[in-house]
Structure 1
Amino acid sequence: MNISARNIFTGTISALVNGAVNAEVELTLDGGDKIVAIVTESSVNSLELAVGKTATALIKAPWVMVLAGEATLKFSARNQLAGTVKFLTKGAVNTEVGIELPGGNLVYSVITNEAVLDLGLKEGVPASALIKASHVILGVPA
């Protein structure tokens, strides 16, 4: 299967907190980076999610917000992944931003060219990827 999501991370479920309607699932990637997803309890059951099981997180690049520099505010986004800008690919309206995390994983974001200028983004500067846990889609091997 081909997938249009730019961010595809495979890891091991390291925590699972069940709720009445939704569950919080923590996925630990190679290198130790972590991504949290909020999924329905129905998905937990149908995908047979459990601690220790392999899963893949899918996140579309436009859903990833970018914070430049060191975080001086707290955000409601569950995933606040600090790293370094690895590359910028400028287009006519938007720029693809690649943020390398400490574990070596690369998070892709698509933001406006104006935002890149306003944030002062350049290769090598610190930046964070902010991703709402509800924007993370989980899949498991069939």
Structure 2
Amino acid sequence: MYYNSRRCYYSEPVNYYPRMYEEYYPYRNEPIIKEPNVGNDSGSGDSGMGLSARNRFRGVVTDIKMGSVVGEVLVDLGCNHLASAVITTTSIRNLRLRVGSRVNVVIKATSVMIRKTGDSDSDFSARNQFPGTVTEVNAGDVVGEVIVDIGCGHIVSAVITTTSINNLGIKIGSKVSAVIKATEVMIMAGN
């Protein structure tokens, strides 16, 4: 092979050694594991679009506050759960959002913070605070997943450090709040 900064010529094909893919992709032959239902998405009406975000909730837009660059969209998820999303005004227009629009609220599990109930009664600037009960804790070496039941069939998944899980003493049955900044909430138009 000849290489210089302007051109790259291959004089012969690259020979990959036989087991290369097994070393770089060790999980390629493992079966796909169906994850438990998180959020309130029953699987129907998902437009066939797969998302890696664990938290998806269906709701209805109740208010839109438009600014010059961004706007705030309030979505009623039912059972006194109101989600706030700060998205660009361009997105609000492109999604044709109106009061009464049916939307999906999407939140990555890594964007969810966990606050133990009663730890600090000080005000918090994050708009989305959903109190609930921990139903599952999967602690890993560095990070873990905390599953919180916030009522009415709404389940929130949070990925936080294992150190935080241990420092907060989070275990099954702990009373916590799932906290999400409005800028971390995505809106997906649809049924």
Q: TM tier, shorter chain?
A: over 0.9
Q: CA deviation at 1:30?
A: 3.4
Tell me the C-alpha RMSD between the 2 structures. Answer: 1.5
**1:31 aligned onto 2:73:** no
TM-score, structure 2 normalization: 0.70
Q: Which runs of 5+ in 1 are unaligned?
A: none
Contact map agreement 1:85 1:124 (CA 8 A) in 2 = yes
What SS is found at the alignment partner of 2:171? coil
Contact map agreement 1:31 1:105 (CA 8 A) in 2 = no
TM-score, structure 1 normalization: 0.93
In structure 2, the partner of 1:8 is 56
In structure 2, the partner of 1:97 is 146
Please tell me the residue identity of whatever aligns with 1:129: A
1:9-35 CA distances to partner (integer Å, 9 max, x unpaired)?
111111111122211111111333121
Q: Which runs of 5+ in 2 are unaligned?
A: 1-48
Q: CA deviation at 1:112?
A: 1.2
Contact map agreement 1:33 1:103 (CA 8 A) in 2 = no
In structure 2, the partner of 1:21 is 69
**1:65 aligned onto 2:113:** yes
1:22-68 CA distances to partner (integer Å, 9 max, x unpaired)?
11111111333121100111111110111111111111111111101
1:48-96 CA distances to partner (integer Å, 9 max, x unpaired)?
1111111111111111111012351211111111111121112232110
Q: In 1, distance between residues paired with 2:124 and 2:78?
A: 25
In structure 1, the partner of 2:175 is 126
Q: In 1, distance between residues paired with 2:92 and 2:122?
A: 32
Structure 1 pair 103/15, CA: closer, same or farther in 2 (3 Å)?
farther
- Number of residue pairs aligned between Structure 1 and Structure 2: 142
Q: CA deviation at 1:103?
A: 3.1
Q: In 2, distance between residues paired with 1:114 and 1:45?
A: 42
In structure 1, the partner of 2:41 is none
Percent of pairs with identical residues: 37
Bigger Rg, structure 1 or 2:
2
